[in-house]
């Protein structure tokens, strides 16, 4: 089957973490299908309103990745050019050269909107996978109408969690399928060997805002009675220096290591250092880092903020209320004192069975086939 994947969020040289969840799905699907990925973006540093699109092509196995760049234009015109030039690229470089069976777009706008436009013009089914809160797209009246059009017209909608499905259904009153994000479990190993009694706590997430709750973790850690702990903090963003200052103010500066952005080839090593992993988010549609930690056999602590409720169970972690520093502290203490309860191999196996590539590919391939069969019978 030939699948065309559309997304504006995908790893590249400058942002290696952006859209990693899309890339993981593409790599999994490529075991059974031929995938053409169109990752499109605007170069806001280069004002060239009358220039044409440019693109880079990269092939690996059954995956062809196209990175399409549109230069900045005049206000409003930039967005129009962004969509029209990307459509023209797809028409000229892909649709004219091969038969596409399914379009799989990620995120309602712009990928989902563009995929739905192509669906309507070319009669190719478009499947939308939504990863983010829908209302986050409503930056203007026009954006809102584009998203509503997408939700109304696209052939099928997938949500990465039940909570997100509820939000989508409230806006479009359609059936929404839940298919969780995935992790390549084989990239992670259970290699942690303790040589001392210290407690190694991990955190990994974007530091561009306070949604991931690192401020809550720092405050909770500062309240721990045991002082033989160490915080391993991965992630980058505009708040990095503020969090370093916060650690100093809380008196735990020497107990924190800020790694900054962690390279993908070093991520397994990061998790292997940990005794437990904490993600005290204020909102999550899913929580990729939780299943990565669990793939390494590491038990997790997270908040009841959406996605984590579908990932964390009593055998692999602890769920707490949002914004509750005392409860977070208690969870850290409980997990550290009952570490023997959490079976690393069992946590890893649970992750593979529920969030591994094999289960995902089977579920999504069945959905593809169902849609194509329905189309052929129409």
Two domains, one topology: 2-182+357-377 and 185-355: yes
| Class in CATH terms, 2-182+357-377 | alpha beta
Question: Taking the alpha carbons of 91, 366, 151, 168 in that order, is the dihedral positive or negative?
Answer: negative
Please compute the mean of the pLDDT values over residues 282-305 and round it to a whole number. Answer: 96
The contacts of residue 55 (CB under 8 Å, 6+ apart) are 66, 67, 68, 69, 89, 93
Range with the poorest average pLDDT among 189-193, 284-288, 306-310, 340-344:
189-193
CB of 199 closer than 8 Å to CB of 226: yes
For 215: left if phi > 0, alpha if psi spans -120 to 50, otherwise beta; the answer is: alpha
pLDDT at site 192:
63
Percent of the chain with pLDDT over 70: 99
Give the tens place of pLDDT for each residue, 14-32. 788 889 999 999 999 999 9
Give the tens place of pLDDT for each residue, 155-188. 999 999 999 999 999 999 999 999 999 999 999 9
pLDDT at site 76:
87
Q: Give the closest residue to 320 by CA, choosing from 213, 227, 246, 228.
A: 213
Please compute the mean of the pLDDT values over residues 260-279 and round it to a whole number. Answer: 93
Give yes or no for residue 378 having a pLDDT over 80: no
Q: What is the CATH number of domain 185-355?
A: 3.40.50.2000
Give yes or no for residue 143 having a pLDDT over 80: yes
Domain spans of the chain, in order of start: 2-182+357-377, 185-355
pLDDT at site 16:
80
Buried-state track 39-72, b at ≥16 Cβ within 10 A, e below 16 = bbbbeeeeeeeebebeeeeeeeebbbbbbbbbbb
Give the tens place of pLDDT for each residue, 69-109. 999 999 889 999 999 999 999 999 999 999 999 999 999 99
Q: Give the closest residue to 188 by CA, choosing from 290, 106, 49.
A: 290
User: What pLDDT band is residue 193 in, cutting at 50, 70 and 90?
Assistant: low
């Amino acid at each position: 089957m030939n699948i065309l994947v559309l997304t504006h969020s995908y790893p590249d040289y400058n942002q290696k973490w952006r859209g990693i969840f899309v890339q993981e799905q593409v790599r999994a699907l490529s075991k059974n299908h031929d995938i053409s990925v169109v990752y499109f973006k605007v170069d806001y540093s280069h004002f060239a309103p009358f220039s044409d699109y440019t693109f880079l092509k990269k092939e690996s196995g059954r995956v062809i990745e196209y990175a399409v760049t549109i230069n900045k234009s005049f206000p409003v015109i930039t967005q129009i050019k962004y969509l029209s030039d990307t459509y023209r690229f797809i028409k000229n470089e892909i649709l004219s050269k091969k038969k596409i069976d399914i379009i799989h777009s990620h995120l309602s706008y712009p990928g989902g909107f563009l995929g739905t436009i192509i669906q309507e013009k070319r009669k190719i089914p478009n499947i939308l996978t939504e990863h983010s809160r829908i209302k986050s797209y409503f930056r203007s009246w026009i954006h809102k109408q584009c998203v509503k059009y997408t939700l109304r017209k696209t052939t099928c909608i997938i949500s990465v969690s039940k909570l997100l499905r509820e939000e989508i259904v409230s806006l479009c009153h359609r059936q929404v399928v839940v298919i969780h994000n995935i992790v390549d479990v084989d990239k992670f190993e259970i290699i942690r060997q303790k040589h001392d009694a210290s407690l190694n706590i991990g955190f990994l997430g974007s530091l561009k805002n306070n949604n991931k709750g690192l401020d809550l973790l720092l405050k909770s850690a500062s309240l721990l009675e045991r002082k033989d702990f160490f915080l391993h903090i991965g992630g980058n963003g505009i708040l990095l220096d503020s969090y370093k200052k916060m650690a100093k103010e809380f008196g735990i500066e020497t107990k924190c290591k800020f790694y900054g952005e962690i390279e993908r080839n070093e991520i397994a090593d990061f998790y292997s250092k940990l005794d437990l992993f904490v993600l005290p988010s204020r909102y999550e549609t899913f929580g990729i880092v939780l299943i990565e930690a669990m793939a390494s056999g590491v038990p997790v602590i997270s908040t009841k903020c959406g996605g984590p409720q579908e990932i964390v169970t009593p055998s692999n972690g602890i769920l707490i209320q949002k914004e509750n520093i005392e409860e977070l502290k208690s969870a850290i203490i409980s997990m550290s004192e009952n570490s023997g309860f959490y079976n690393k191999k069992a946590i890893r196996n649970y992750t593979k069975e529920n969030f591994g590539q094999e289960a995902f590919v089977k579920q999504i391939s069945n959905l593809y086939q169902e849609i194509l069969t329905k189309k052929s019978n129409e």
